[in-house]
Structure 1
């Protein structure tokens, strides 16, 4: 695909229908979401069969502007219909005899003993993560770059880079590549390359040709900073 045809990351609805109309149910998230507790990388998108008015509320309904935690999503992530991020502000206190949040119905004083006292961990999604239909991502989850999340999975904790996880609770099904190839991919961090360079090497990226990717990197410095988790 010619690079000049690829939509800018600031495009809200980057997917065009055959008649040229934008598909409202697929959005680049950093163009569709303006929320102080979201941090989204370029080209990460979400899809929904019934497009919401508020994508931030649709995807992370418990993440409020005054929440303590953040939802951080890297570049080139793919989020299917029905995915929900259950962030830390959804939690109840459960170390006592009751988990009932009395304070939310009676003034919401943060000092009230029925409210959780933290910590409120960030939820972090690395780069090039594919989250399948209907998956739930739990508070404080850390999805490493290259993770694939199966449809309907309930994911907590930390995943390994380039792993496939599925089930409730989600468990690792397999690793996508060898440890050596995974380390090399994280060092190459192709998601940090200019979009023209990425598109020029689409066949190597999508076809799993690591040798071609290494050649494509050329004199580009190899860094590990692309891995967010």
Structure 2
């Protein structure tokens, strides 16, 4: 296991394997997002209570779930970097943070748009909404900490520590609708219980989830490879790679 971890942490090995995986991830993302968008917007029936505004779910839910997943992945990458000093883990965490912040903003914005016809207001200091806003601030804090230190390693350790502390906000987001009285509805569907929606509604949502996560994976692989070239530019294999591409 340790041999695999250190092999996976080799920038040269990661660059090579990610180059093979990336096209497949892009293809899956394009297919799933295309099918999910068409199905969700044009084929799925309107909700009997919310009408056409229900269709925001096909962006809001994937963005919210992905925002939380990225933060957990970023915290785990930070832990790997701090414990085992694996540089690729820090590179991955570096490129995850901006996209995670974008997904958090997308979840908040789409939720606000959804809230106007559903709740009659675009914002309420609801437990779920407030904890998601805190998540956005945590992302921005992680990004800011990385640039606040003269030494890259110092910034990386500070950002990793904030991510590890901030990850406690994720279960708060998840269980906020159960712990407190909130306007926000409970989970639309889970892996452990039967969906409350008909299959014609939740299947396109599942496909959109696959598309969002595939897009994130492809983007992370691509940007981590760019970060490897940037940080390892003085290594012989990187110079040979650049010369070959030129």
- TM-score category, normalised to shorter length: under 0.3
Work out which structure has the larger RCO, using CA pairs closer than 8 Å and 6 or more positions apart in sequence: 2
Name the structure with the higher helix share. Answer: 2
Name the structure with the higher strand share. Answer: 1
